[in-house]
């Protein structure tokens, strides 16, 4: 499988603000470039890893317009996600946008007796049926409970609800941001990842792109850990954004199958 991705961001920034970018693929690549340019000058970019293993890139802006461009090419499979006892503890706990403690009764009444691939397929199908994809009726601070009450949202909201329901059923689950070939309209995409049958498996209740061609960017408890851009010591306004990702051949996708990010 050959995959390529491109992200272009234009930002108006305060002087001295630090941009924290989460746009890079997590894993080995054939070729990769990341640049940040302000007034014709290329800015220094420093890479660090967060506690979830996500690659973060830090850029100190002098102020004004900053243009960020990222390109990557991947041939073959990316490495599978790791597992540890700490993962089980971390990804079973309720978090800011995944209120699994509140949704416990709902999860148990809807999915009692299911496990493994059957459970993941049932949760994905149920969430897709309960929600309507409506960007105009969601907010960046909505959590899984509000999403279920409103019966609408975007990919982040679908993933939060899936994660919360699975955690309520003692299945470790987390949020992953990805490049998703086949997605329309093209954008950064969010999916859930659940630890089932000894591996992390993708659950995408939106059904908007085939899971097998997705590429991991960021991993975390919920959207608070996986935003493509955050700032400190000031503010930045996103002026424009373009995301593009392609694969040599789009694979088929069956909600009943277990699929890993690779």
Closest-CA residue to 16 (of 213, 177, 184, 234): 234
Task: Tell me what pLDDT residue 78 has.
Answer: 84
| 181-207: average pLDDT | 96
Q: What is the CATH number of the domain that holds 240?
A: 2.60.40.2250
The 10 Å CB-count burial string (b at 16+, else e) for 16-47 is: ebbbbbbbbbbbebeeeebebebeeeebeeee
Tell me, yes or no, whether 65 and 149 share the same domain: no
pLDDT per residue over 210-226, tens digit each? Answer: 999 999 999 999 999 99
| C-alpha 145 chain-centroid distance | 19
Which tops the pLDDT comparison, 136 or 239? 239
- Give the whole-angstrom CA distance, residue 191 versus residue 85: 22
Please indicate, yes or no, if residue 240 is contained in any of the structural domains: yes
| 23-36: average pLDDT | 94
Tell me, yes or no, whether 106 and 176 share the same domain: yes
Residue 75: strand pairing partners: 2
Contact 202, 196 (CB under 8 A): no
- The three-class DSSP label of residue 206 is coil
Determine which of 35-49, 75-89, 222-236 has the lowest per-residue pLDDT on average. Answer: 75-89
- pLDDT over threshold 90, residue 136: no
Q: What is the CATH number of the domain that holds 220?
A: 3.10.620.30
Name the domain count of the chain.
2
Tell me, yes or no, whether 6 and 38 share the same domain: yes
Task: Tell me what pLDDT residue 251 has.
Answer: 94
Contact 181, 201 (CB under 8 A): no
Tell me, yes or no, whether 197 and 95 share the same domain: yes
Tell me, yes or no, whether 92 and 9 share the same domain: no
- Give the whole-angstrom CA distance, residue 23 versus residue 151: 29
Percentage of the chain with pLDDT > 90? 90
pLDDT per residue over 55-112, tens digit each? Answer: 999 999 999 999 999 999 999 888 877 788 888 899 999 999 999 999 999 999 999 9
Tell me, yes or no, whether 59 and 104 share the same domain: no
Residue 102's domain comprises: 85-225
Tell me, yes or no, whether 219 and 123 share the same domain: yes
- The three-class DSSP label of residue 87 is helix
Please indicate, yes or no, if residue 195 is contained in any of the structural domains: yes
Please indicate, yes or no, if residue 254 is contained in any of the structural domains: no
- pLDDT over threshold 90, residue 168: yes
- pLDDT over threshold 90, residue 27: no
| 167-179: average pLDDT | 97
**How high is the mean pLDDT of the chain?**
95
- Give the whole-angstrom CA distance, residue 56 versus residue 121: 32
Please indicate, yes or no, if residue 252 is contained in any of the structural domains: no
- Give the whole-angstrom CA distance, residue 203 versus residue 80: 15
């Amino acid at each position: 499988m050959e995959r390529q991705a491109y992200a272009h961001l234009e930002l108006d920034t305060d002087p001295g603000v630090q941009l924290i970018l989460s746009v890079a693929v997590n894993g080995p690549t054939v070729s990769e470039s990341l640049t940040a340019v302000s007034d014709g000058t290329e800015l220094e970019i420093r890479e660090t890893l967060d506690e979830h293993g996500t690659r973060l890139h830090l850029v100190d802006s002098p102020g004004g317009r900053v243009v960020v461009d990222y390109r990557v090419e991947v041939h073959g499979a990316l490495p599978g996600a790791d597992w540890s006892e700490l993962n089980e503890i971390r990804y079973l706990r309720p978090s800011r946008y995944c209120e699994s403690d509140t949704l416990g009764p709902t999860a148990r009444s809807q999915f009692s007796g299911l496990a493994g691939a059957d459970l993941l397929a049932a949760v994905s199908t149920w969430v897709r049926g309960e929600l309507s994809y409506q960007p105009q009726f969601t907010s960046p601070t909505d959590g899984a409970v509000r999403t279920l009450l409103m019966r609408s949202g975007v990919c982040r909201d679908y993933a939060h609800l899936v994660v919360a329901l699975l955690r309520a059923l003692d299945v470790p689950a987390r949020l992953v941001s990805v490049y998703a070939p086949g997605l329309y309209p093209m954008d950064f995409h969010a999916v859930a990842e659940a630890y089932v049958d000894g591996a992390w498996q993708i659950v995408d209740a939106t059904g908007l792109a085939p899971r097998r061609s997705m590429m991991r960017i960021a991993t975390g408890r919920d959207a608070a850990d996986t935003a493509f851009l955050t700032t400190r010591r000031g503010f930045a306004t996103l002026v424009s954004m373009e995301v593009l990702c392609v694969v040599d051949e789009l694979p088929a996708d069956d909600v009943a199958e277990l699929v890993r990010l690779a």
